[in-house]
Structure 1
Amino acid sequence: MAVVAVLCALAVLLLGGCGTRVAGATNGTNGTNGATPTGPVPWTTMEPSAVTAAQLAADQRTLTLTARVPHGKHPCVRALKAALAAAEQNTFWVQITYSSPSGDRRSGCTGEATASTRIVLPEPLGDQKLIVDHDTQFTTDGAKLPALRLCGELGCHPPATSCTVSSYEQAMIAADAPEHSYRDAEHCDGKWLVIDFSWRTGPVCGDTTATPSGCASRLGDRVFFRAEPAGWKTITSSSAGGCTAVRRAEPEFPKALCATLPPLATSLHPSYPPSSTDK
């Protein structure tokens, strides 16, 4: 609860420095009814769009954090800094902020570049967690120091690739499956995996006036995976039956897992990479 309170308080401070959106502003301008704004370009407090790397110095306390920030022909970033938001529950929570005029397109800060800032932790990082900007997590476990290891969506220690439900869920995330998708079938041997999944589409599910019902209409796709140390890695996707598509992308994929696959009726999911058999 203490961590939540600290982060909420920090969010209030950040939002307080972000200015007020003018009612009726459109097309990314700060004017009314889409008009081009006039006057000085305002600088507001922001967070990076992404935190991409962290390095730990020899003292085990000094961190260099790299993030993506606005970029343009003129200065786009001031006061880039990292601050410790909380240190508890075996976790350091760090927040990166800066001031930028990029909220107003007149500033010309429409691109992005990387920039770094440093912070000294109150004690050595050791095996404690490092979370930057709410949800970007780094760890020394398995890292090639001085660089820390950037953890994925499933945390720093995702489920091992296997023929289990938790492992299939990791594969669905790797495949960027649409929200609320559900698995129809899995074919797995521990090293290779095929998942057929589908998702509802059409009108809102539960709308009894819609024809057809959103609960009845569905689309599906089939994705092939290879096991890697970080988890399941997508090879390709295909709505065609058999092994042609996947073995074109990965000749070692075992025929035992794909030879009897029937073709799917429909597929809107992008291929990894696109397969000519899906055209």
Structure 2
Amino acid sequence: MWRFVKPALWTFGVLATAGLAFWLVLAMNIPYKSAAAPDTTPETTSASTTAPPPSGPTMDTAYVTDVRPGPDDRTVLLHVTLPTCVEVPETKVADGNDRVDVDVRFRRPGGGADCPPAPTDVPVRLRTPIGLRPVFVNTSDSWGQGPGGWRRCDRFLSCTPPADHCDPRWIGHLEARAEAEFSGTTRACDQHWLIHDLQRHSAEPPHRVVYRWAGDTWADFASPKGGGCGEILAAEPKFPTALCKDLAPPA
């Protein structure tokens, strides 16, 4: 009989131990998660976003498109295009002995205001008569008086071109006209003739150009590929050979 009682007692002990372990799990409040049923609850995200605060007013530089004489010899009018919601632009004037410097700025409203542009004249009052002094606007553009009135001056030559036609400012002027990216090399120059090797782009070889003085600027008339005077004299027999006889090819 004992051989039947012993297995029964062993089975009872196993069941009792399992029941005690299950009771301890419940007592310790350990979360239970089935591996067969994973948690697929999606995370919730907030759909609300905070709008950026409206931008405030900013100071901008006014672009001057023309300069005109004012009602008297101490006033000039700067023609600009400004947003219609700008009340009065701000001007800062330096009334010098040989030039007048003017900075023109305006306060652009913030908040994305719809302000279409419109032309307007900004009067600039000077301490002394303007005379023949040039007006430099916003440190970049300059305006001078000529036979036909006020005109924008050249970036290199300013309002009074140099009397020396070989002056570096004249060379800079012709390079700007040719849209050269780099400074070239002047091979020969007098007051009437000029040989200059332009460097338009870094990846290209120098491009030789020959100019004649045309009264108020240099005008090109030949682009020789070799050295010496042959190609130049073929285009202009009056060209002085002293300027080209020892000339090497462009390089």
Counterpart AA for 1:59:
D
- 1:149 is displaced (CA, Å) by 3.2
Matched, 1:221 2:210: no
Q: Please name the residue that 2:54 is paired with.
A: 40
Counterpart AA for 1:151:
C
Q: Please name the residue that 1:78 is paired with.
A: 86
Tell me how far apart the structure 1 counterparts of residues 225 and 109 of structure 2 sit (CA, whole Å): 50
Counterpart AA for 1:53:
D
Matched, 1:254 2:240: no
Q: Is the Cα–Cα contact under 8 Å of residues 86 and 106 in structure 2 kept in the other structure?
A: yes
TM-score, normalization by structure 2: 0.54
Counterpart AA for 2:218:
W
RMSD (CA atoms): 4.5
Q: Please name the residue that 2:165 is paired with.
A: 162
Tell me how far apart the structure 2 counterparts of residues 134 and 86 of structure 1 sit (CA, whole Å): 11
Counterpart AA for 1:149:
R
Q: Please name the residue that 2:69 is paired with.
A: 56
> Which shifted more, 170-179 or 147-156?
170-179
- 1:63 is displaced (CA, Å) by 1.2
Counterpart AA for 2:175:
M
- 1:127 is displaced (CA, Å) by 2.9
Q: Is the Cα–Cα contact under 8 Å of residues 159 and 170 in structure 1 kept in the other structure?
A: no
Q: Which ranges of structure 1 fall in alignment gaps of 5 or more residues?
A: 1-36, 70-74, 203-217, 248-252, 266-279
Q: Please name the residue that 2:47 is paired with.
A: none
Deviation by residue 1:163-205 (Cα, 9 ceiling, x = unmatched): 56554344334433224x2315347671x64421337847xxx
Q: Is the Cα–Cα contact under 8 Å of residues 181 and 201 in structure 2 kept in the other structure?
A: no
| Residue correspondence of structure 1 range 1-279 to structure 2 within 5 A | 38-40=52-54, 42-48=56-62, 50-67=63-80, 69=82, 75=83, 78-81=86-89, 83-100=91-108, 114-140=119-145, 142-144=146-148, 147-153=149-155, 154-160=157-163, 162-163=165-166, 167-179=170-182, 181-183=183-185, 185-186=187-188, 190=192, 193-198=194-199, 201=202, 219-223=205-209, 225=211, 227-228=213-214, 230-232=216-218, 242=231, 254=236
**Aligned in 2, Cα 1:228/1:239: closer, same or farther, shift over 3 Å?**
closer
Secondary structure in 2 matching 1:168: helix
Q: Is the Cα–Cα contact under 8 Å of residues 185 and 197 in structure 1 kept in the other structure?
A: no
Q: Is the Cα–Cα contact under 8 Å of residues 191 and 213 in structure 2 kept in the other structure?
A: no
- 1:107 is displaced (CA, Å) by 6.4
Tell me how far apart the structure 2 counterparts of residues 161 and 112 of structure 1 sit (CA, whole Å): 43
Q: Is the Cα–Cα contact under 8 Å of residues 179 and 200 in structure 2 kept in the other structure?
A: no
TM-score, normalization by structure 1: 0.50
Q: Identity of aligned pairs, percent? A: 22
Q: Please name the residue that 1:277 is paired with.
A: none
Q: Is the Cα–Cα contact under 8 Å of residues 44 and 99 in structure 1 kept in the other structure?
A: yes
Secondary structure in 2 matching 1:148: strand
- 1:94 is displaced (CA, Å) by 1.3
Q: Which ranges of structure 2 fall in alignment gaps of 5 or more residues?
A: 1-50
Tell me how far apart the structure 2 counterparts of residues 118 and 177 of structure 1 sit (CA, whole Å): 38
- 1:57 is displaced (CA, Å) by 2.6
